Structure 1
């Protein structure tokens, strides 16, 4: 069963994606800057410190962001 935290994470991801798409559509951010934002977010999690459990969670988040970049999701679409 999903937790409140998981719901919050999904909501945050959806909101951020919508904001990035809106910025792209309005010409406020070009594709390379959107990818830069995503890379910065991934790097933050790749460089995070903490307990082993916290590090595992940060690595998982970084992997997810990097797969979004590599997969060319809707944020990087035409």
Structure 2
């Protein structure tokens, strides 16, 4: 992946995370709906078909999305 693509991907991830946080903060989507959106996105990549290289890329994307879910990055959870 080129540097330009890496930067584009990081920018897209940051924008999407900010949108999910704004939707949660604004009461448009509750946390469970946001997590559902992320789970759907991960499942899409987990089930994607293609060449070995494409499948590996999809699996990596799914793993990243699952890490975001586990880390709670896209919802503001109360500090305990």
TM-score (norm 1): 0.91
Extract structure 1 runs of 4+ deviating beyond 3 A.
none
CA pair 60-17 structure 1, distance change in 2 beyond 3 A: same
Q: Distance in 2 between matches of 1:61 and 1:35?
A: 16
Deviation at 1:3, TM superposition (A): 1.4
Structure number with the higher helix fraction is 1
TM-score (norm 2): 0.89
1:62: which partner in 2? 62
Q: 8 Å contact 2:24–2:31 — kept in the other structure?
A: yes
Cα distance per residue 1:49-68 (max 9 Å; x no partner)? 11111111100000000011
How many residues get paired?
Answer: 77
For 1:8-23, list aligned pairs within 5 A.
Answer: 8-23=8-23
Query: What RMSD, in angstroms, separates the aligned Cα atoms of the two structures?
Result: 1.3
CA pair 50-70 structure 1, distance change in 2 beyond 3 A: same
